[in-house]
Chains A and B, each alone.
Chain A
Amino acid sequence: LQSTSYRHIASAQSSMQKHHTIWKKNRQNMSSEKQETAAVRVLGRWPSPFVIRVLIVLGLKGVDHELVEEAVGNKSELLLASNPVHKMIPVLLHHGRPISESLIIVQYVDEAWASHAPALLPSDPYARAAERFWAHYVDDKFPTAIRVLRGRLDGDKDEAAAQVCAALQRLEVAFVECGQGKDYFGGDNVGYLDIALGSHLGWVRAVERIAEIRLLDAAKVPKLAAWADRFCAHPAVADAMPDVDRFVEFSLKNDGALKAASANSK
């Protein structure tokens, strides 16, 4: 079992002072909640963008939690008992009650800790619908394409890259609509859609190196390219999503083996 500790607070840039203040205040609340068994546990593993989402939202909300690392290719009894339907990570356990599916978990954390700023979804129903629509879109367009580009799934890499680029073009427009020209899709603060898309950035940047392609091209999607840097530098994100080198390292170690194994079994 591992405990996450907020070992490093990334130094805030002047434009992020506001966000840093909220994050720091929540972090102070966290250290006063010490319990025998953590009230909040996350079953997961770091390279999963879906697990990263959960870690980001817990960090943003300043919720103390314990990460229970699932071993690769070996599902724990706890995972199987907590998510018998899908048997997949992430699972959030709140006082022992399981919640599964990353976007559902993110909304749950937002609602269960509604008293902790920031609110992840805007208050206007139409704006909320827009963020939910685009979050669905992200999960429709990114995960499979990224797996193909990693070499983890068979498929046409050119097609996968084209799909990601086309999706980013659409999201470039959505960024202005949702965020209304501010720093994040969520406006002044990181929100639901920022987390939904941003959690894929580790792998997006990693496959740019692995497959030797440009996806988040500042010439084609300037606003998203700037947003990506901003998002990844946010303290709650930096804690949850390691540097791109680690993703590349992980892929070289694990995805290559998978490909070789599937090649041998053909």
Chain B
Amino acid sequence: MAGEDELKLLGTWASPWVSRVKLALHLKGLSYEYVEQDLDNKSDLLLTSNPVHKKVPVLIHNGKPICESVVILEYIDEAYGTTGPSLLPTDPYERAIARFWVDYIDQKLVIPWKVAFTADGEEEKTEGIKQMLAVVQTLEGALKECSKGKPFFGGDSVGYVDIALGGLLAFLQGTEELCGTKPFDIANTPLLLAWVERFTALDAAKVALPDVTKLVEFAKTKRLRI
């Protein structure tokens, strides 16, 4: 039917990758239907929409599925290019830098975090923490470089890198309880600390991010698979 635009998001409440998509949809002012998935008992819709990976998030736009959080983010930005703010910069070089840092976050932050959280041995855990903190330190530098004194990686407004890191925020805020170390501190990562405060105050963040206490509780009891 003419004028109908249907967005459906398949996700799980705790997933940071799903949070990323929720953030983007809210920032763009887009309404969507959210369908919570049971990953221990996968729905037909999930299996047919993401037959390759069978994972969340999946965004279904007018019946057509898009998978992989970063692919979904770029899709939202392009399909809704004239709706709401742009998520990626327009300049090719700045776009490349934004994509680089999102790729960095996905390649380098998550694995040591998981090690720090799940490792049984003290040595392994310490190594995980060390690597995670080194990555966070690099991101502090990235924030300085990208923001150029402005509030966000995207400058004056929230952008692609902000969303990619922002999706992980509830986990990052729960890191002290789950991994035994604070990821951010005033001495080493003052810019990121300020960025966290700013980001969590956003309306989109309040809707898209899970409650930290609930998440920590859940992670502890279920030894969460992200």
List residues of A whose CB falls within 8 A of some B CB. 85, 94, 97, 99-101, 104-105, 107-108, 111-112, 125-126, 128-129, 132-133, 136-137, 170
Contact = CB atoms under 8 A, between A and B. Distances in A.
> Which of B67, B78, B96, B100 has the most chain A CB atoms closer than 10 A to its own CB?
B96
Contacts of B64: 126
Contact of B95 (A100, A108, A132): A108
B99 A107 contact: yes
The size bracket of the interface on B is: 20 to 34
Nearest to A105: B96
A136 B71 contact: yes
Nearest to B95: A111
Contacts of B99: 101, 104, 107
Contacts, number: 56
A125 B138 contact: no
Given A104-B99, A111-B92, A112-B92, A126 B79 contact: yes
Contacts of A108: 92-93, 95-96
Determine the main DSSP class of A at the interface with B: helix
Contact of A132 (B74, B79, B93): B74
B75 A112 contact: no
Determine the main DSSP class of B at the interface with A: helix
B55 interface: no
A108 B66 CA distance: 23
Given A107-B99, A170-B52, A128 B75 contact: yes
A126 B104 contact: no
Contacts of B103: 101, 104
A112 B94 CA distance: 11
20 contacts: A85-B104, A94-B93, A99-B96, A99-B100, A100-B100, A104-B103, A108-B92, A111-B92, A111-B95, A126-B75, A128-B75, A129-B66, A129-B74, A132-B70, A132-B71, A132-B74, A133-B71, A136-B70, A136-B71, A137-B52
Contact of A129 (B75, B96, B104): B75
Nearest to A100: B100
Contact of A125 (B67, B68, B79, B92): B79
